[in-house]
Structure 1
């Protein structure tokens, strides 16, 4: 399949062997593409900022630094002109449809063959939405999930990173160390994160962000109603 030689594709996946195999497939199947790779969400944030000419992001749902669909929500909010296609080992139709609900331009199972992959790439790069045959695009994400996604989308890039670290259980001093800022700065970010998410504690924030996990454990409404 011939394609503009300037086509730039970012692969975001934490498995180096898969990244290498996917990159080799793209190089063989496309016409001299520029293929960039990153293994975690902070690296993806930096790469997208530094590569405004990117034509497509191929995103795994499991990446260090991001919870489930949260990286997708971030990308579609902060880089709406770059289509994102989820490439995942999860093949449940419900998960594929949730990805579309959160702004994905397509969902490609990792088990897909080369011909299917090329078909999906062509569709998404042409501006269409692509899902495997037999999977419809009927919305499936619930109101609470979409509301939390909207709130996450309103976070600044740094607030998003802080929120992601909170969901991983890191303390303020640990987050400050990782981001090379003061603990007071993190506390200020936390105030804004709580306000935007509509929560009042770190635990509630973690539960809220957890709604964007591939398999959420508990809804925020359920958590609020449970004995504390």
Structure 2
């Protein structure tokens, strides 16, 4: 029986290599995939639908806070995500959990913590450090609102947050400008926003240190 397929998404090559080394020691039969940005993460997942687990750094190029986590959970809900981050504030850990992560590993954790967390999640469990932070109803509400968006609408929303015009969004995503207009209208309706600016504020709330 083949081993699990694990995707390590982090923009630092040395850290990716270190994580992969740890995982190979613990799971020698596993197949390893790599991604260095939010866009390559999407490409690799699109090419490897059999991915069993994603180890995700929050601070990758192209990601806005928890946006990459929400995008993966929305487009590949069957693939568990373990966040691995240098920002291990209890509030950040709790938000990762509420936005759909199956686990959280601090980059300062010992190597065996990575292997232990991955093993727990692959077995269908979760792996979070002890937390003293209360669940945030605002985060739960934000996650529920964003979950209404299709993957393409979520991409358009991130472009809106960057201040791009419809024409620029169309060029960046390879869409017709009229299609972008349709998506923007749907996004504002689903998120109960009256303007593009208000929708962009919601994306700002995805930053790890922000509270919606």
TM-score, normalised to structure 2's length? 0.91
| Count of residue correspondences | 212
Residues 91-130 of structure 1, C-alpha deviation per residue, up to 9 Å, x if partnerless?
1112111111122111000111111111111111111111
Q: 1:105, 1:129 within 8 Å by CA — same for their partners in 2?
A: yes
* Whole-angstrom CA distance in 1 between matches of 2:62 and 2:153: 13
Partner of 2:38: 41
Q: 2:56, 2:81 within 8 Å by CA — same for their partners in 1?
A: yes
Alignment partner for residue 112 of structure 1, among 103, 109, 114?
109
Equivalent residue of 2:204, what SS? helix
* Whole-angstrom CA distance in 1 between matches of 2:16 and 2:206: 24
Alignment partner for residue 129 of structure 1, among 121, 126, 129?
126
Correspondence 1:76-225 to 2 at 5 A: 76-132=73-129, 134-135=130-131, 139-143=134-138, 145-216=139-210, 219=212
Q: 1:172, 1:187 within 8 Å by CA — same for their partners in 2?
A: yes
Cα RMSD (Å) of the superposition?
1.9
Residues 127-152 of structure 1, C-alpha deviation per residue, up to 9 Å, x if partnerless?
111122x336x652232x32222222
5+ residue gaps, structure 2, are: none
5+ residue gaps, structure 1, are: 220-228
Residue 5 of structure 1: how far off its partner (Å): 4.3
Equivalent residue of 2:126, what SS? coil
Q: 1:148, 1:209 within 8 Å by CA — same for their partners in 2?
A: no
**Aligned CA distance change for structure 1 residues 80 and 180 (closer, same or farther; 3 Å):** closer
Partner of 2:27: 30
TM-score, normalised to structure 1's length? 0.85
